[in-house]
Structure 1
Amino acid sequence: MFNQKNSRRFFLQGAASLAACAALQPATAQSRFPSKPITLVVPFAPGGNVDIVARSLGVPLTKLVGQSVIVENRAGGGGAVGTGTVARAEPDGHTLLVATPGQLGTLPEIIKLPYKADSLMPVALLSRTPVVVVVRANDTRFKTAADFVKAAKAAKQGVTVGHAGPGSPNHLALLQFEDSAKAQVNAVPYKGSGPALVDLIGGQIDAVVDQITSSTPHIKSGALRAVMVLGPQAGGLLASVPTLSQLGLPAFDATTFVGAFAPKGTPAANVASLQGWISKSVAQPEFSNVIRDLGSEPVGDTGAALQRLVDGEVTLAAQMVRQGRLKAD
């Protein structure tokens, strides 16, 4: 039978236990990841290849992480604005950059950036995509790839070609095309492929160097036509589209890759979790089917594989800067 003294003792013990549990709760909450929605920052305007990859990833990733996945477009500076946003974000894994290796490999070589190249760390490789030259389907000047090459070589800056911004893979591919074809086009930078394609369809420019992913819907609709592949022979919509080597021009491979990056200092455990979730997401039909239907290829490789691509971009960009072929617009 409890007396008043015993009751008081048990009350104090219970209160102490509750206090100890309360003290442990913040630590437990802090160790849980993710503890809030994950934001995927795309450093280009909506409608381009990177944006499509990020939005396709968000669907299966949401199911795996148990939190909402938000896609946020921060266009500008050839990807520098959005990349800088992630570089300055809290390094906890809740904010990721979805971009090409060029944002860390090429941009630092040509413009002053609001971030350092080592301010971000690779998490996972998402996809690879052929790069093409697209024109309006009803443009009779460019019935064939040879017609386009001839026009590009005929007059200095006689053909106006859009790309996704300074230092973007499209920009780099366009410069390599000029070298290969010994041509000089009027290059017009945009804040992503989406706005460039809109202007192409509207007749403001003659062509766009683009990843097939963002051009596919317009090719299928009959508005645009791919005239050449800037890389190896591809299948699907591009099965009959000639490559540079088939045109007798010096070949190069402008295949682009999209990966996920996290702010430097993100805990290794969180990076490992993200890499695992992303790898599983890339294999899900919500991602893989969409990406394949648009002419791209899901990859789902490691951060180390993505870092090797960044290193390759650094080498190529530095070489082209020395040659005077790569400049900020």
Structure 2
Amino acid sequence: MAPLVQSSQPWVEKYRPKQVKDVAQQDEVVRVLTNTLETSNCPHMLFYGPPGTGKTTTALAICRQLFGPELYKDRVLELNASDERGISVVRTKIKNFAAFAVASKPRQGSYPCPPFKVIILDEADSMTEDAQNALRRTMETYSKVTRFFFICNYISRIIEPLASRCAKFRFKPLSEDIMITRVQHICQEEGLALEPEALSTLSSISQGDLRRAITYLQSAARLFGSSITSKDLISVSGEVVNSFFAACRSGNFDLANKEVNNVIAEGYPVSQMFSQLFEIVVGADDVSDEQKARICRKLGEADKRLVDGSDEYLQLLDVASSTIRAICNMQEEFS
């Protein structure tokens, strides 16, 4: 069957819940935040937990329900702290936005329109400690007119003075039942036929990350059309890693760099790529044990740096260059 004509809009955005009550399997978080919306008494907030469990969705939904479409652009600043995580960003962009007072607006329909702004800092655990310390002073100075929503995977990497000023919300990994229900809804809306075994496979390869599951599903629909099998999904999940490894084995750094740029541009999780690359390398029959050891050691080092907040692009590029050296240099030694 010919592939469906797909919209250019990512399904992750198309099917992102618009209201807090629609966020899946975070009952305690939803209950508390629903009360917050009713009173409009909104504290600084810290959302933490595994990727793809609804943290960013919840933060965006709160802002939409507080301000509505007319005030949203003026009242909400969204920043990805992994890209803009230095102290200069805190001193300029964040401080300038936080400093402006906003006029009090009467309630408009179902939107409370409270007299403050919101700054959403996604991947806040990637911010440097100096930037977090500077941010603490900004929070104290402008607390009457600005609220901060921090989103992170690792709460331990948020300094205590920041964390203690926030209401904390832990997001749990999504169960297989919840993921299957959401995926089935998308399949129905998009006219896809997914085999029962494929549903289980999708849940397994996405490891509780609903965002990843939806991305795999859309990629499979683009490549294989409306009827999708387990084999199709496995192919999609490993395609990027296989292309990356093939580019490294070619010995062409420019080709490997192109694959790295593609991974970053498409938003694939680099930490998961390292896990898949490890399995490919260990299972490769034409790679020597010494080559495998060198590559796996670099994967471990790069993964540790990611946990410590390093840039994904640089770490993936470092793995690429090390893999090229491990494979090509040793082949030259024995040729």
In the superposition, the TM-score normalised over structure 2's length comes to 0.29
* Larger RCO (CA within 8 A; separation ≥ 6): 1
Say which structure is richer in helix.
Answer: 2
Larger radius of gyration: 1
Say which structure is richer in strand.
Answer: 1
